Structure formats: structure tokens, C-alpha cells
Chains A and B, each alone.
Chain A
């Protein structure tokens, strides 16, 4: 049975990330989770596989921390999980990530459709689907709002700035789905229990021959915080207050 692959990323939960007073970022207390948007990709894979009788599987490129993601992913209706493992995943750029995922896709074989989210909830770089398509020489359709598969033909509706574009392509191919498409369902008890018994395949980057060298280096991560002037204009005279506002805005160069 051919596979529909949902790619997902194990990211830090942004609600646990702290900003220190010097604008440095504290990740130390953050727990992991499956990127929110990738849950939509998983849902899409499960729904499409059900419709066409394919096998929905999950694929992640991640460090040893991503082990925690497998049960969660499998409880969402995927039948098997594949994990391309490398500690380098934590600082990988889009090219490395796509190379690792493409290698995983090749290794598992018999893949009809690859589904990514439009972007990961941490970096939202929007590169993975296109890069995987390029590496595997497959058609790529991004910004997908709706998708149907009939026989070998995929019909996808793309949401662009001010219009909807409908495109068709023949399998195999790669799509990326928008955060508003395929609302994920919350797994039930039996699904959670079954997840622990589903097969997991680990791939080692070395044996897959993945080049893990990032061309891009992260130099610094700093929080962005809007600087506030904290000026309070007091007084009873409205005209004087308005004049003070205007003069302050002029001083800031915004007027």
C-alpha cells in the first residue's frame, strides 16, 4: 500500500519560553510539542489516506528529544512513524532539514504524497515542502487550503492573497497545508492506547548519507520587545495636552 507521509517537527512550546530583562531568551524551562501547524499536516495525511485507501505515516527529523513525539504523533491516526535522528537537527537550517526528510522519504519507499505544514510554529521559514520537492524532483503545491485525491490526480485549492487558485498534479508530489486547513482532532483513549503499540522506524543520518552541515549559522537569538517611552501627559486643558502629544510625536520623528 502506498504511503501518505506527514512531516512534522518537535518544537519547544512557545508558552514556556521566557524573555529575560536583557532581552536574552531562556529556553531552559520549555517543554516540547509537535508544532501546532504540523498537527494539521498529520490530520490531512490521515484524512486523505482514509479517502484513497493509502497508509498514513509520520516522518520527523529530530534529536533524541524527538522520541517523545512519536507516541503523540501515532495517537493522531498515523499507522507508522519514521524518525530521522541526528542531534544536529536542533540547529539545522531549511536545507539540512529537507535533505534529512527527503532521505527518510526515499528510505521508506513507496510514497505517494508528502504533506508538510506551511511552516513550523517556531521558525515558520516556509521552506521544507519546496526543498523536499526540489530534492526528490516532485511537483510542489504550497498554501493548500483544500485538497482531494482521485485516482492518481491531486486537486488542490491554494489560498493566495486575494484569490483561490485550483491546481492539479499527478502523484507522487508534495503539498504544504495552511494552518486553517484540516483542523486536528483530539485523540481519544483508544487512539492514545494504540499509539504505544504502533511500529516506529529509526533512521541514522550517517547510514542515510545525509549531509548535516548547515550553510547558515545562527549568530544570536534575542527577544524583540517594543520600546515604550512611558510618557504620561497630565493636566486639565485638552488643547495643551494635545499640543504636548504632538510635540512628543514630532520629537520622535513620527510626525
Chain B
């Protein structure tokens, strides 16, 4: 193959990380090839359902306005389920969606979104080759010089691994090992179609632009994990994430627990009559800052997005797509500014600091410890709903003293004051 056919960068994966990187590089006049194994970008990709717009705006001003998104999130909800009981906290802050500013976040479906973003990169001049799986890397003199796909080889100054969680390329480059099942969750999700007006009625939304993001605790039978629900324009994304190691020891399967969630008296009325049009499963990084591999570049090679472990799970929100986009921008800036391929990696680390990605991940590191607390996933929601049940039960008998009632319920649910203090200590470190 002639030298002239060598690309400035080959990006593997057309998810948000890869597409954002390609967009930025192509805009700066670089010759970019994006290789995606799906027949179209996003065709098989899975996410929960919400993207923060600041990242799109950083990619290019105004992008979030034309993006293929669903509903702006106007209500933030947390649902605690304990048996048949449920508590829903509903938070609303108009300043999240001020006139003249892009709304803070939108619900999103990946197939249209990824296709749109990859299309933007193509408009900028990137070449996007779909339906092709990269099988390996080409290495010469200790440097990564290209990729192998089937029988074809393709060369570039730098290969960008944007191939998602459990990155095959990072493994081939020797930067990560086999997956560690304590650092990832298994997510399952259904997209359930309902008419827009039904969604607005059930979630008390005033118009088709508004939407709900809801995290659900207490729906995993005590397994470390939780559920999520996002309202799209004409569908609901409902899913659940579990730690795989605990699931293996559990008697019920993921599908069964998820089915129970769908049938829960607080959830079923929201999805009743809908039609499931998509069922999917995917891994999601759960270890936050600690989940970032020690080294995320080599000469001729950088990792971005999920491939680099850039996901934050705080329990009340998940952030992966915005970080994927930020890291794509950071890698592109490094590639553009480097005067030799050897400089790309160190520059990339600097850009990750400058774009506030690594600082953000460090700042949220403590959530991992909080979320390791086993009783958060069953006893806490059970306790909270039981206390509520006590509060709201009225009959002919004099009610028990509230403080004593709570103490008794704590005892009944096996949560000690000491447990709460320990959690508080972990919490104050956040």
C-alpha cells in the first residue's frame, strides 16, 4: 500500500467518543477514517437514556439544538421500591432549562443519535466505514501503526480506540487485561413504545418537549445495582443494571428480576399498554476514577470514552456519553497539536485535565465507596418505605412514637445507627 493512503488517524468505533474525535479532527483538516462494526453507527449501541448537552456544545456551538435527541429533562426523579410500596421523589428546577440556553440534558435513543453524530463527522470530511469489525492492531518497532480488519490492513499515524467498554483494541495493545467483573455492571433495557400524549399524561408533562429521568432503587433484590427510566418522544426506556458477580450467586435471573420491576405496582401503570420494540443488554463501567486503566495510550495509540473507563455512576445519575465526547475532543486536540506521534499520548493526558474530564472523575471518586454499601440496594428502600407506611397508616389505635417507630423499623430491617454513620463518613468524602 502506498504511503499516500496512510491516514492521519484511524478511529475504531462510531459511538459518541469516536464520532466526536472524528468530527474534531476532520474539522481541523486531518485525514480520518472511522471504522464501525455495526451496519450503521449506533445500530447495536445501548445506553440508559440521558445525555448532558454541555459536551455537545463543547464539540461545536449549537450542535445540541440540531442533534437527534428525544425530550429535554425537566423532572428528575428517584424512586425507592420496598416490596409493593414506593416512594417517588420528584425534583424540578426551571433554571436547568432556561430560555435562550440549551437545556441541561436530553433523553436520547442511540440508533438515531449515533447515526446523526457520525453523519456530522462525515460532513466535516471524515470517512466512515460501517459494517467492518477491526480484529487487531499492526505493530512495528514497538509502535502501533495501523489496524487489521478481515484480510485488509490500514495504516495511520495514530489509532484511536473508541470501541467501548471491554475494549478489544486496548487488550491487543496490552494496556488492559481480561475484564474484571467487580468493576462492570450488566445493563438490560427495553424500549417500550407509547403515544406521546400518553407519556405526557402519565408523567404529568405539559408538552412533547419535556421529559423525565428517573433512577430506581430497591428493584434488584439486594444486588448492587438499580433501575432507570427515561421518557423519549414516543417511548419509554426502562432498564436495570446489576453487578454480574452477585447475579451469578442469586437464584433469580436478571430477566426475572427485571420482569418483576416492570410489574411493580408503581412502574406497571407507567408502561401499561406499551409495546416493547427493543430489548438489549450491555456492560457499563462502575468503578469510576478507579476504573481508568493505569495507562491509556502508547506510541501510535490512544483510548477514549468507555474504552478508557470514562464513566461516572453516582447512583442518582450516570454519565458516560458526555465524557465520551469530551475525551474524543481531548484526543483530537492532542493529535492536532502534537508535532510527532510520540507526543500525542502525553498531550492527551494534559488535554484530559484541561477539559476537566479527569478532575471531574477524581471529584466523584468517593461515590464508588458509598455505592459499595450493600444495604442501599434492599434494606434502605425497604426501611424508607416501611417508615412511610407507618407515617401514613391511620386507624383507631394511637400511633407509636415516631422516633421509636423509626428505631424499630431500622432494627427490623437490620440497619444499625453505626451503619448509617459509616455511610455518612463515606458520603462526606464526596
| Chain A residues in the interface with B (C-beta under 8 A) | 18, 31, 186-190, 192-193, 196
Q: In the complex, which residues of chain A have a beta carbon less than 8 angstroms from the beta carbon of B152?
A: 188-190
Residues of A contacting B132 with CB < 8 Å? 188-189, 192
In angstroms, how far is the closest chain A Cβ from the Cβ of B123?
14
Q: Mark B117-144, 1 if CB is under 8 A from A, else 0.
A: 0000000000101111000000000000
Contacts known (A188-B149, A188-B150, A188-B152); A193 close to B127, Cβ less than 8 A: yes
Query: CB within 8 A of A186: which of B35, B127, B131, B154?
Result: B131
Instruction: Name the residue on A nearest B275 (C-beta).
Output: A18
Task: Chain A residues near B33: list those with CB within 8 A.
Answer: 193
With contacts defined as CB atoms under 8 Å apart, how many contacts are there between chain A and chain B in the complex?
26
Of all chain A residues, the one with the shortest Cβ separation from B151 is A188
Contact residues in A for B129 (Cβ distance below 8 Å): 189, 192-193
Q: Among residues 15 to 39 in chain B, which have CB atoms less than 8 Å away from a CB atom of chain A? A: 33, 35
Task: Tell me the B214-234 residues at the A interface (CB within 8 Å).
Answer: none
Query: Smallest distance from the beta carbon of B236 to chain A beta carbons, Å?
Result: 16
Q: Which residues of B contact A188 (CB under 8 A)?
A: 132, 149-152
Q: How far is the CB of B128 from chain A (nearest CB, A)?
A: 9
Contact A189 B154 (CB under 8 A): yes
Q: Which of A187, A189, A192, A193 has the most CB of B within 10 A?
A: A189
Instruction: Pull 10 A–B residue pairs with CB atoms less than 8 Å apart, ordered by A.
Output: A186-B131, A188-B132, A188-B149, A189-B132, A189-B149, A189-B150, A190-B154, A192-B132, A193-B129, A196-B127
Chain B hits for A187, CB < 8 A: 131
Residues of B in contact with A, size category: 10 to 19
Which chain A residue lies CB-closest to B134? A189
In the complex, chain B residues whose CB is within 8 Å of the CB of A18: 277
In the complex, what residues of B have CB within 8 A of residue A31's CB?
Answer: 40
Nearest CB of chain B from residue A14's CB, rounded to whole Å = 15
Cα distance A186–B132 in the bound complex, in angstroms? 9
Give the shortest distance, in Å, between A214 (CB) and chain B (any CB). 31
Q: What residues of B have a CB within 8 angstroms of the CB of A196 in the complex? A: 127
Chain A nearest Cβ from B137, distance in angstroms:
14
For B39, the closest partner residue in chain A by CB is A33
Q: Which residues of B contact A192 (CB under 8 A)?
A: 129-132
Closest to B5 in A: A193
Beta-carbon contacts under 8 Å, B348-402 to A: none
Chain B residue at minimal CB-CB distance from A13: B39
Question: Which residues on A sit within 8 Å (CB–CB) of B35?
Answer: 189
How far apart are the CA atoms of A193 and B31 in the complex, in Å? 13
Of all chain A residues, the one with the shortest Cβ separation from B149 is A189
CA distance A187 to B151 in the complex (A): 11
Complex formed: what's the CA distance from A184 to B277 in Å?
29
A155 vs chain B, min Cβ distance (A): 31
Write the nearest CB–CB distance from B10 to chain A, whole angstroms.
Answer: 10
CB proximity of B46 to chain A, nearest CB, Å: 18
**Measured CA separation A18–B40 after assembly (Å):** 20
A30 to B152, CA, bound (A): 32
The 10 closest A-B pairs by CB, nearest first: A189-B152, A189-B149, A192-B129, A190-B152, A188-B150, A189-B132, A188-B152, A193-B129, A189-B129, A192-B132
Residue among A18, A31, A193, A196 having the largest count of chain B Cβ atoms under 10 Å: A193
- State the CA gap A186–B35 with chains docked (Å): 15
Q: Which of A18, A31, A192 has the most CB of B within 10 A?
A: A192
List CB contacts (< 8 Å) of B144-194 with chain A: 149-152, 154
Q: Quick one: which of B395-429 are within 8 Å of A by CB?
A: none
Distance in angstroms between the alpha carbons of A202 and B33 in the assembled complex: 27
Which residues of chain A are near B150, meaning CB under 8 Å?
Answer: 188-189
CB distance from A35 to the nearest CB of B (A): 15
Q: How far is the CB of A10 from chain B (nearest CB, A)?
A: 15
Report the minimum CB–CB distance from B38 to chain A (whole Å): 12
Q: Name 6 extra pairs, CB < 8 A, besides A188-B151, A188-B152.
A: A31-B40, A186-B131, A187-B131, A189-B129, A190-B154, A192-B132
Minimum Cβ distance to chain B for residue A29 (Å): 8
Distance in Å: Cβ of A207 to nearest Cβ of chain B: 30
A31 to B149, CA, bound (A): 26
Looking at the assembled complex, report how far the CB atom of A42 sits from the nearest CB atom of chain B, in whole angstroms.
15
Give the nearest-CB partner of B129 in chain A.
A192
A31 to B39, CA, bound (A): 12
Determine the residue in chain B with the shortest Cβ distance to A187.
B131
Q: How far is the CA of A187 from the CA of B40 in the complex (A)?
A: 14
In the complex, A189→B156 CA distance in Å?
A: 14
**What B residues does A189 contact at CB under 8 A?**
35, 129, 132, 149-150, 152, 154
A196 to B33, CA, bound (A): 13
Within 8 A of A (CB), among B269-316: 277
By beta carbon, the residue of chain B nearest A190 is B152
Closest chain B residue to A33 by CB distance? Answer: B39
- With a CB–CB cut-off of 8 A, which chain A residues contact B151? 188
Can you name the residue of chain B whose Cβ is closest to the Cβ of A195? B129
Query: Once bound together, how far apart are the Cα atoms of A192 and B38, in whole Å?
Result: 13
Q: Give A188 to B132 CA distance when docked, in angstroms.
A: 7
Min CB–CB distance B113 → chain A (angstroms): 15
Tell me the nearest residue of chain B to A193, going by C-beta: B129
Complex CA distance for A190 and B154, rounded to whole angstroms: 8
Please report which residues of chain B, range 249-284, place their CB below 8 angstroms from some CB of chain A when the two chains form the complex: 277
Q: How far does the alpha carbon of A189 sit from the alpha carbon of B138 in the complex, in Å?
A: 15
Q: How far is the CB of A220 from chain B (nearest CB, A)?
A: 23
Interface centre among B35, B129, B151, B154 (most CB of A within 10 A): B129
Q: Whole-angstrom distance between the alpha carbons of A188 and B35 in the complex?
A: 11
Which residues of chain B have C-beta atoms less than 8 A from A193's C-beta?
A: 33, 127, 129
List chain A residues, Cβ under 8 A from B149: 188-189
What is the CB-to-nearest-CB distance from A49 to chain B, in angstroms, rounded to a whole number? 21
Complex Cα distance, B152 from A18, in Å, reads 38
Report how far A189 CA is from B154 CA in the complex, Å.
Answer: 9
Report A-chain residues with C-beta under 8 Å of the C-beta of B40.
31
CA distance A196 to B40 in the complex (A): 16
Q: Give the CA-CA distance A18 to B33 in the complex, in Å.
A: 35
CA distance A188 to B135 in the complex (A): 12
